[in-house]
Structure 1
Amino acid sequence: MTKWRNAKLLSLSICLVTLVSLTNGADLKDRARAALLLERSTGKCKVGISQPCPPSKFRSASGECNNFNHRYWGARGDPFLRLLEPDYADDRIKPRTSVGSHALPAPDTIIDQLQRSIPVGAVHPHVTAMLPAWGQLLSYDLVQILSPHSSFRCCRNDSTTAATDEIIQCYVRTGEGCKEYKRSIPSTEPGTCKFEYRDQMNAASGFLDGSGLYGTTEKEILALRTFTNGKVDIKACLRCNEPGAIGALHTILLKEHNRIADEMSKLNKEWSDTTLFYETRRAVIAQIQHITYNEFLPIVLGSQIANSPDLRIENGKHYTGYSSSNRAGVFNEVAVGAIPAFLTMLPPDMYNESASAEILISTPSMQQTFIPDHATFNDEWTPIALALQRGRDHGVPSYHKALNLCEKRFGIPYGSKLTFDDMEYFGLSPEKRKALEKIYQDAEDIDLLVGGLSETATLGTVFGPTLTCLLAIQFANLRNSDRFWYENDLPPSSLNLPQLQAIRRVTLSGLLCEAKGVPKAQPKAFIREDPYLNARLNCEQLSGLDVTPWRSEIVEED
């Protein structure tokens, strides 16, 4: 017993040291340490007193103080939320096993066998590559998962076994040996004194707030600013240089920032650089939110769900659905079980090669499928295999439990026991059902993301019913838990009605034109060009944000 206890204390010490060098997360070290210590604590802990949040017109970088009553809800470092009770093998920490208590098939094995058994996804008949690219942009804004950064090697020298430490665990075994995987950094709510099960840290803010573009810390924002007329230095944007669609979108949005800052400085010569920067940032964030809910979600979720009260954009008035009692944050099931699905819709040549706005609006998207094996992450993992591994690490329940949740919320017919034959109802072809039956011992073992991607997209949506359900819940929560949401009427942070109406006239095509990203564009940038229904127009016919309503309205906040 003493030897076991000493080993546990040693592994905890190693992990606490590695937290000092967390990549992009040194400021979150204390939060992670508290979560790890709580897992091993049996005594009392001190409950900190939360400092009051002063009224502010502008968002913080981290999302802190978005909620006056709950300072850290949705802030950087907050735990991912849960829609379902977690599924751990020991109900606390250890990743889930099969319903028969056997080891689940390795993520690489699942992806490899599905790629061999299921035809490659076809070109989407209606949607452009801009749609999954925008989905990837939202992922950068909403989800950032951290792992310990250290020289500790999980896999042994013979590459066939793995360490089984609960903190820095690398328990992945594939048909070809062991693959490095360090468990996601945990987190807990400040003041929590009782450990029930491990939750994982989200190093992004839990709001759709442009933090993927501007940064989640004041240091990152300062590094981006030029301190001249509210503008940003696009050369200082690291993600602008990333290959693929994400670099193109970040560049376009920062060009839009500089255009708006330029226009606002001409309208309001008395404004300081600080006021110009934060007013412009607020306008860019509002455009991202509006494009997402007005153009993106109706295609992803279908018009019926997107037109529900929680998601429908208001006309001529402010939104009244915000409540400080709504818990802000990103759901674990969505972070690793739904949002990664957008990556499967990107054309294969857009993973690692440069892309432009012109290419994104003229190239068809792929229909949902499993990512080609040439798209890798850190030379180790394909993105979908990594998402599957993280799902198990995070205690995300299996596909059938998500079906049960969505039946209650959206009326998806589902019984208490799932069989492979039942999956025919969700559009799974005989080939897909047969492939899954070869991989999993039981239909209730199927990983959430695998089951969701295996479903056939329902009419008017891009995903099947389960992923559509999870995304609808998440985007409703993003809106009704955000005090700074662009449609709210909550001074001092709200837009006035003329400003709000100007935002509501914005389209993605107009934004692309204003940023000089394209010479022409179809009015609906997420939909493929059609000579009759969605013909390309000259940019002179597609205007961007009119900043006239911002003339001399703002009081300085230096």
Structure 2
Amino acid sequence: MLHSICYASYASVKMLSLILALAAMNQLEPQPRSAVTHKKKKKSRRRKRRRRKKKREEEEEEEEEEEEEEEEEEEEEEEEEEEEEEEVCRVQLRAEQGRSMDGQGWQAEKYKEETRGRSKPEKEERKASGDQPPSYTQQAMEEEVKKGKMMRSRVIGVVEASQLMVDNAVYNTIKRNLKKREVLSPAQLLSLSKLPESTSGAVSRAAEIMETSIQTLKQEPSQFFTDALSADLLGTIANLSGCLPFMLPPRCPDTCLANKYRPITGACNNRLPQKLEPWGVRPIWVALKVREVTRHLIQVSNEAVTEDDQYSDFLTAWGQYIDHDIALTPQSTSTAAFWGGADCQLTCENQNPCFPIQLPSNSSGTTACLPFYRSSAACGTGDQGALFGNLSAANPRQQMNCLTSFLDASTVYGSSPGTEKQLRNWSSSAGLLRVNTRHRDSGRTYLPFASVACAPEPGAPRTTRTPCFLAGDGRASEVPALAAVHTLWLREHNRLAATFKAINAHWIAETSYQEARKVVGALHQIITMRDYIPKILGPDAFRQYVGPYEGYDPTVNPTVSNVFSTAAFRFGHAAVHPLVRRLDTDFQDHSDLPRLQLHDVFFRPWRLIQEGGLDPIVRGLLARSAKLQVQEQLMNEELTEKLFVLSNAGTLDLASLNLQRGRDHGLPGYNEWREFCGLSRLETPAELSRAITNQTVINKIMELYKHADNIDVWMGGLAETFLPGARTGPLFACIIGKQMKALRDGDRFWWENSHVFTDAQRQELEKHSLSRVICDNTGLTRVPVDAFRTGKFPQDFESCEDIPSMNLEAWREMLPQDDKCIFPDKVDNGNFVHCEESGKLVLVYSCLHGYKLQGQEQVTCTQNGWDSEPPVCKDVNECADLTHPPCHPSAKCKNTKGSFQCVCTDPYVLGEDEKTCIGQLRSLHLQQTWQAIKKNMSSE
């Protein structure tokens, strides 16, 4: 800017000098009178021209100044980025300095070096005066101490550099996403649905910092690396990276409610050490490109699919839904490479966390790869495994499960306190969940909206776009069937909670909420284990791997295994139908709602809201068949060629994603898992024919993989012939069966465990079914008895009046009486619930939302009355929370009693979320849109 100003001043001075020179020349020669007059006019015209020219120049200068200001802003942004890069460089420089110092080494004979060159008399004189070289032990100790300090300094430098590297990549990812404002690619859609929530995101970030740090240290000379991985320094790395808190056992509350209601995080379920199963993995890499496997072995056209003559589309939908209840492996917190910052959506190089799917050389299209992000590592595994004493395959790189692993309806309630807080209706006295305030489905509720925008409606302006749905799991908007099942359970919770409150008027909102949550979780367990899993495994495999319930076993590890979530339970992708069928009240194709191809519904919740609501989708799931998994018809092209397609922004391939994810997680091959399950290894084509009856498929497998030991476990398990009465082959039946038994037997809150429900309540729960849930929460009046079996309408459908239901009177509660302890009054802004512990009456206090407990949470009835005074509820100042501020940075937070308020300054107003300040014009547009929607709803 300074250079430009100086240049302008120089030009002005030069022009002025020229003008003065011309004026002087005119004054030197005397002129005639007429010539002088003409000269004056000529000068006047020149002055006018000069003024006009000067005005133009001033306008041009103003434009130049505006451009310069814009350039200055861009330069400032670049300077900020350069400063960040310089900071990384400075930290790396400090680390390099640490390395160079260590490279010089500490000389063991330092004393000899100092005395080298001295004469013998000098040495003897110094020896006589007491100038003795230190003893070997003392010298070694001093050197070890110095070396240890240097190593510690080196490790700290490496961790600091790694932290800046990871955070810089995450920052660039966020910045890139904010700039785009619109969802532009299928990879972004997939990325949004796999992003971890805040708690899991913190774990992912910590693990990535720790992994990057140890990878850097592994590049050191071997002697230094061995020393650097001492227990003390590893503890330092774990602590500085942020991994250490997540590697420690959770602190478990010791209250009677902790035994009555499942914690939202799933922590503290088992109170005894677990017997760990050998679910460990080791990396296996094959030269075969996963896209080649898709094209030659898996893909089939939409028209060539075979329909299942036994099971409905609801079987497939439930499998996907329940998978989302027990497993979510978060991808890296960054979509840019940690080293170099390359955008993973653009690069075809393997640069952590970028792990692109390489396309065959003969592929059509302009790109050489499909984007893919590695899953986040779990703290303390893989290279970090040195924390457990080794870096060997005994503790390989593992991935994190964001969810609780248990069958606990986390799809409805979330797996963290933060998500649960977002989902609850805190103003409800009955413990209800939040619902959509903008749209209704013939008087029934929809899921609330999330802040994330989903795929746009054609032609809709960005301000009126339908956001994604908000549910306990972030993938609720992937397809209409999944959104429909989520919506059913939202409605079921609110139905149960309202009924419980009506039956037990003395219950506080928290009790109604927790009891409804407990019942919904039990129904998820019943429908899955009683109605779904036996159809998948077949009767023989179910008896072999699952068997009858024999009670809770605290030594069983219920954690979801890597091979289950990454391979075996993805068998359901081969049962996804390429069409979405929407039916009318007679269960026929809807005249106003034609069939849709699957790629036309990905992440499009507006179709559910604007095109008929829930009922047509549910009818289609009940009365239309699932796709049958046939060995030469594994996955239709809607999933392999059009996954999450958005206009011309490219697509993804689900089959290749599954195979690549298995390689990312380092899953052993097909034969190793068969051996794990006690099944024979299959080496030759003849041996493979014992598990895969289609010879054409066997020939293609051997042609591609060259040897059976190279077969990816997901590919091999998917190609196996079904067991009798099953929808999986022997390998997947083993892995799924073992996992389901572990989920059941290792769950202290499993519905059949004696302390969870009363005998009367268990009898009522057994009556319930998915068909009953549909009857209670939709407009359907006729349903099949078993929602998973396909049938024809009307002969295979029953009236909802004949579908068994629970009698919720089994949950009526009589307040216990104790002469020694009279029930105290409620505390201000809070209340208590009662339970029993070791035969004693216990009161557990809680505060209303926006207040925190001060005092003892639990009081117990003793011979002398209550053992403690009731606590009090104090107002929480939400505005003081700098970690998770309640308002957007654009708004100012104002604390109120039991709550807070976000305030905007003129000319801005609060947006729909009541947390973000937006311009008045946009607000007016949104209000007009909302008024139009309400007008249309009232006219209907």
Given the two structures, how large is their TM-score scaled by the length of structure 2?
Answer: 0.51
Alpha-carbon distance between aligned partners in 2 of 1:249 and 1:392, rounded to the nearest angstrom = 31
Change (3 A) 1:128 1:49: closer
Alignment equivalent of 1:113, drawn from 296, 311, 314: 296
Determine if the alignment matches structure 1 residue 142 to structure 2 residue 326.
Answer: yes
- Paired position in structure 1 for 2:379: 188
- Paired position in structure 2 for 1:97: 285
1:104-151 Cα shifts (integer Å, max 9, x gaps) = x22222111124689944111101111111100111111111122435
1:169–1:183 Cα contact (<8 Å) kept:
yes
Alpha-carbon distance between aligned partners in 1 of 2:577 and 2:299, rounded to the nearest angstrom = 19
1:12-39 Cα shifts (integer Å, max 9, x gaps) = 7533555687933332355335544265
Query: What is the CA-CA distance between 1:233 and the residue it aligns to?
Result: 2.1
Alignment equivalent of 2:281, drawn from 86, 111, 115: 86
Alpha-carbon distance between aligned partners in 2 of 1:174 and 1:11, rounded to the nearest angstrom = 32
Determine if the alignment matches structure 1 residue 238 to structure 2 residue 470.
Answer: yes
Supply the AA of the counterpart residue of 2:628: Q
Structure of larger gyration radius: 2
Alpha-carbon distance between aligned partners in 1 of 2:814 and 2:738, rounded to the nearest angstrom = 36
- Paired position in structure 2 for 1:500: 762
Alpha-carbon distance between aligned partners in 2 of 1:361 and 1:281, rounded to the nearest angstrom = 26
**How does 1:338-353 map onto structure 2 within 5 Å?**
338-350=568-580, 351-352=598-599, 353=601
Alignment equivalent of 1:432, drawn from 670, 690, 697: 697
Query: SS state of the match for residue 690, structure 2?
Result: helix
2:398–2:665 Cα contact (<8 Å) kept:
yes
Supply the AA of the counterpart residue of 2:419: E
Query: What is the CA-CA distance between 1:381 and the residue it aligns to?
Result: 2.6
Determine if the alignment matches structure 1 residue 513 to structure 2 residue 775.
Answer: yes
1:368-389 Cα shifts (integer Å, max 9, x gaps) = 2532232315754322221111
Could you tell which deviates more after superposition, 462-471 or 34-43?
Answer: 34-43
**Percent identity over paired residues:** 23
Given the two structures, how large is their TM-score scaled by the length of structure 1?
Answer: 0.84
1:504-554 Cα shifts (integer Å, max 9, x gaps) = 11122122111225321111111112689x821000001333211100158
1:23-58 Cα shifts (integer Å, max 9, x gaps) = 333323553355442655612144746534424121
Query: SS state of the match for residue 636, structure 2?
Result: coil
Determine if the alignment matches structure 1 residue 390 to structure 2 residue 661.
Answer: yes
2:335–2:344 Cα contact (<8 Å) kept:
no
Could you tell which deviates more after superposition, 251-260 or 278-287?
Answer: 251-260
- Paired position in structure 2 for 1:201: 400
Change (3 A) 1:248 1:116: closer
Determine if the alignment matches structure 1 residue 162 to structure 2 residue 348.
Answer: yes
Query: What is the CA-CA distance between 1:262 and the residue it aligns to?
Result: 1.8
1:146–1:185 Cα contact (<8 Å) kept:
yes
Query: SS state of the match for residue 579, structure 2?
Result: helix
Q: Which has the higher contact order (CA 8 A, sep 6+)?
A: 1
1:462-507 Cα shifts (integer Å, max 9, x gaps) = 11111111110110010011111111124xxx11111111111112
Determine if the alignment matches structure 1 residue 14 to structure 2 residue 244.
Answer: no
Query: SS state of the match for residue 200, structure 1?
Result: coil
Query: What is the CA-CA distance between 1:362 and the residue it aligns to?
Result: 0.5
1:148–1:184 Cα contact (<8 Å) kept:
yes
- Give the aligned CA root-mean-square deviation in angstroms: 3.4
Could you tell which deviates more after superposition, 274-283 or 13-22?
Answer: 13-22
Query: SS state of the match for residue 637, structure 2?
Result: coil
2:291–2:358 Cα contact (<8 Å) kept:
no
1:83–1:333 Cα contact (<8 Å) kept:
no
Query: What is the CA-CA distance between 1:297 and the residue it aligns to?
Result: 1.3
Alpha-carbon distance between aligned partners in 2 of 1:418 and 1:8, rounded to the nearest angstrom = 46
Unpaired segments ≥5 residues, structure 1 = 75-80, 89-95, 313-318
Query: SS state of the match for residue 311, structure 2?
Result: strand
Query: What is the CA-CA distance between 1:243 and the residue it aligns to?
Result: 2.8
Alpha-carbon distance between aligned partners in 1 of 2:742 and 2:345, rounded to the nearest angstrom = 43
- Paired position in structure 2 for 1:315: none
- Paired position in structure 2 for 1:552: 813
Supply the AA of the counterpart residue of 1:173: Q
- Paired position in structure 1 for 2:628: 367
Supply the AA of the counterpart residue of 1:344: A
Q: Looking at secondary structure, tell me which structure has more strand per residue.
A: 2
- Paired position in structure 2 for 1:91: none
Query: What is the CA-CA distance between 1:311 and the residue it aligns to?
Result: 4.0
1:19–1:148 Cα contact (<8 Å) kept:
no
Alpha-carbon distance between aligned partners in 2 of 1:545 and 1:246, rounded to the nearest angstrom = 25
- Paired position in structure 2 for 1:93: none
1:333-363 Cα shifts (integer Å, max 9, x gaps) = 0101111111221211244536722111111
**How does 1:217-228 map onto structure 2 within 5 Å?**
217-227=416-426, 228=428
Change (3 A) 1:433 1:310: closer
- Paired position in structure 1 for 2:587: none
- Paired position in structure 1 for 2:412: 213
- Paired position in structure 2 for 1:300: 536
Could you tell which deviates more after superposition, 260-269 or 534-543?
Answer: 534-543
Q: Looking at secondary structure, tell me which structure has more helix per residue.
A: 2
1:234–1:251 Cα contact (<8 Å) kept:
no
- Paired position in structure 1 for 2:520: 284
Query: SS state of the match for residue 495, structure 1?
Result: coil
Supply the AA of the counterpart residue of 1:112: R
**How does 1:480-499 map onto structure 2 within 5 Å?**
480-490=745-755, 494-499=756-761
2:291–2:357 Cα contact (<8 Å) kept:
no
Query: SS state of the match for residue 498, structure 1?
Result: helix
Query: SS state of the match for residue 137, structure 1?
Result: helix
Query: What is the CA-CA distance between 1:222 and the residue it aligns to?
Result: 1.9
Change (3 A) 1:342 1:82: farther
Supply the AA of the counterpart residue of 2:293: I
Determine if the alignment matches structure 1 residue 152 to structure 2 residue 152.
Answer: no
Alignment equivalent of 2:561, drawn from 320, 327, 331: 331
Query: What is the CA-CA distance between 1:188 and the residue it aligns to?
Result: 3.5
Supply the AA of the counterpart residue of 1:215: G
1:300-339 Cα shifts (integer Å, max 9, x gaps) = 1112333458443xxxxxx543222111210110101111
Change (3 A) 1:438 1:160: farther
1:108–1:174 Cα contact (<8 Å) kept:
yes
Change (3 A) 1:85 1:230: closer
May I ask how many residue pairs the two structures share in their alignment? Answer: 520
Alpha-carbon distance between aligned partners in 2 of 1:475 and 1:210, rounded to the nearest angstrom = 15
1:324–1:481 Cα contact (<8 Å) kept:
yes
Alpha-carbon distance between aligned partners in 2 of 1:286 and 1:450, rounded to the nearest angstrom = 33
Change (3 A) 1:339 1:457: same
Change (3 A) 1:425 1:122: same
2:566–2:661 Cα contact (<8 Å) kept:
yes
Unpaired segments ≥5 residues, structure 2 = 1-94, 100-153, 175-193, 216-227, 236-243, 437-447, 449-468, 581-597, 602-607, 609-615, 816-832, 835-843, 847-940
Supply the AA of the counterpart residue of 2:254: P
Alpha-carbon distance between aligned partners in 1 of 2:300 and 2:621, rounded to the nearest angstrom = 29
Query: SS state of the match for residue 187, structure 1?
Result: coil
Could you tell which deviates more after superposition, 284-293 or 423-432?
Answer: 423-432
1:399–1:451 Cα contact (<8 Å) kept:
yes
1:340–1:384 Cα contact (<8 Å) kept:
no
2:330–2:375 Cα contact (<8 Å) kept:
yes
Alpha-carbon distance between aligned partners in 1 of 2:330 and 2:531, rounded to the nearest angstrom = 31
1:84–1:397 Cα contact (<8 Å) kept:
no
- Paired position in structure 1 for 2:109: none
